[in-house]
């Protein structure tokens, strides 16, 4: 089946997550994505090594469906290769500060001079045009500067989220921007610069906290796993030393919960009249729920909560996720062979599904420079020229 982005060429100069995951989504949808990296490999290739060759888990996820070209772009020969690649590309994706973009000839004006309708998608930590624009930062910078970490964790200990949501969120918003830019180009013939950044992505995700602070002059305390605005809401320990999450919101759901735990007397208690008052008195409700769970196994708790139509879920270990029957039935994780991996790698499928033009994982992440000769041949270099480029350590 043809991909919706068949024929679109993407140059991926991204590292780590924000830019590579954006281009991976495009690759899933059929785009020809070329990862361009240093001769020794991009730093992100070797983080969290899981293979004999040293490739990391996040690299395997974020670079499926791509080809790999190694290149020293700081040389005159490397700059010429870059120019030829850009001349036939539709999209360039990178995540580096503006100064680095200019030094590599990847700033929008330089790209536009080679390919007038090029689309540049760049991801930075803070966005261009402000006092922090030249600073570098990873996912955690977006988290801690968005106000979210201030609000999460234990009462005396803020805790950042181990999942890099600012990075992955920026990748997704950047992919949306790229698709809008392609749509615009199809209508007008004009390319443009699409910018994503970790901080505004994190601000988007924590915006309600900021609205609450501005309008109510209120910062609620850090509450661990308890709800930020509703109750009962927490992770509850079961008799078999497992954990279950429950989140109760709205009066109809609260009344169902009261019936489930045998506390219909709470219906008319003014402390629990609405979500706000329930949150304010949440310790009482959470204690009731904790006691209710304490003499039941996880499976018993889940069965009763599901029968009462309560939004609950079991706490999964990483192995539980791999073994989960729904995850398996839905095919959310595709097993992909990779050289040097001890077994097939469970790679997340395209995180959205389309009925007519679905995304697919067609190939594993590339080995370092695996497609260098192939790509150079495509842009006009012959065998002897490629050999000379290798001898001169350009590729």
Check if the beta carbon of residue 13 is closer than 8 Å to that of residue 96: yes
Which residue, among 236, 217, 216, has the nearest Cα to 225 in the 3D structure? 236
* Annotated catalytic residue within 167, 241, 291, 344: 167
Can the peptide bond before residue 327 be classed as cis, meaning omega within 30 degrees of 0? no
Check if the beta carbon of residue 14 is closer than 8 Å to that of residue 66: no
- Rounded to an integer, what distance in angstroms lies between the CA atom of residue 58 and that of residue 49? 9
- Supply angle C-alpha 10, 120, 41, rounded to 5: 55
Q: Give the position of tokens 């919101």.
A: 249
Residue 277 sits at φ, ψ, to 5 deg, of -70, -35
Give the distance from CA 121 to its chain's centroid. 16
Q: Which two tokens stand for residue 383?
A: 């065998």
Q: Give the position of tokens 């680095």.
A: 100
324 is catalytic: no
Q: Which two tokens stand for residue 253?
A: 């759901």
Q: Is residue 70 exposed (0-12), middle (13-18) or buried (19+ Cβ within 10 Å)?
A: buried
Helix (H) or strand (E) holding 385: helix 383-391
- Supply angle C-alpha 74, 80, 81, rounded to 5: 90
Which residues participate in catalysis according to the annotation? 167
């Amino acid at each position: 089946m043809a991909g919706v982005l068949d024929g679109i060429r993407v140059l991926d100069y991204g590292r780590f997550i924000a830019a590579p995951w954006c281009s991976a989504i495009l690759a899933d949808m059929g785009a020809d994505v070329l990862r361009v990296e240093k001769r020794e490999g991009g730093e992100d290739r070797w983080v969290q090594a899981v293979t004999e060759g040293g490739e990391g888990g996040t690299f395997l996820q974020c670079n499926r469906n791509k080809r790999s070209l190694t290149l020293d772009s700081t040389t005159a020969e490397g700059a010429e290769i870059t120019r030829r690649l850009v001349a036939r590309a539709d999209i360039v994706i990178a995540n580096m500060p503006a100064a680095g973009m200019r030094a590599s000839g990847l700033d929008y004006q330089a790209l536009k001079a080679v390919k007038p309708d090029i689309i540049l998608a760049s991801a930075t930590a803070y966005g261009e045009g402000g006092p922090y624009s030249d600073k570098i930062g990873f996912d955690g910078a977006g988290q801690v500067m968005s106000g979210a970490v201030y609000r999460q964790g234990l009462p005396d200990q803020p805790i950042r989220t181990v999942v890099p949501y600012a990075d992955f969120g920026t990748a997704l918003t950047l992919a949306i921007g790229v698709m809008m830019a392609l749509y615009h180009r199809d209508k007008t013939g004009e390319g443009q610069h699409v910018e994503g950044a970790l901080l505004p992505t994190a601000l988007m995700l924590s915006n309600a906290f900021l609205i609450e602070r501005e309008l109510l002059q209120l910062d609620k305390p850090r509450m661990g796993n308890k709800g930020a605005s509703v109750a009962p809401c927490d992770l509850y320990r079961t008799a078999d030393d497992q954990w279950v999450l429950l989140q109760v919101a709205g009066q109809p759901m609260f009344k169902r919960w009261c019936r489930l735990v045998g506390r219909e007397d709470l219906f008319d208690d003014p402390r629990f009249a609405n979500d706000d008052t329930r949150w304010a008195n949440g310790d009482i409700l959470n204690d009731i729920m904790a006691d209710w769970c304490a003499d039941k196994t996880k499976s018993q708790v889940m069965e009763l909560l599901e029968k009462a139509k309560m939004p609950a879920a079991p706490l999964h270990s990483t192995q539980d996720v791999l073994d989960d029957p729904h995850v398996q039935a839905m095919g959310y994780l595709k097993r992909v062979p990779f050289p040097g991996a001890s077994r097939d790698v469970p790679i997340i499928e395209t995180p959205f599904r389309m009925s007519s033009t679905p995304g697919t994982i067609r190939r594993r992440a590339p080995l370092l420079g695996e497609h260098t000769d192939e790509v150079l041949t495509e842009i006009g270099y012959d065998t002897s020229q490629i050999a000379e480029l290798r001898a001169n350590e350009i590729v």
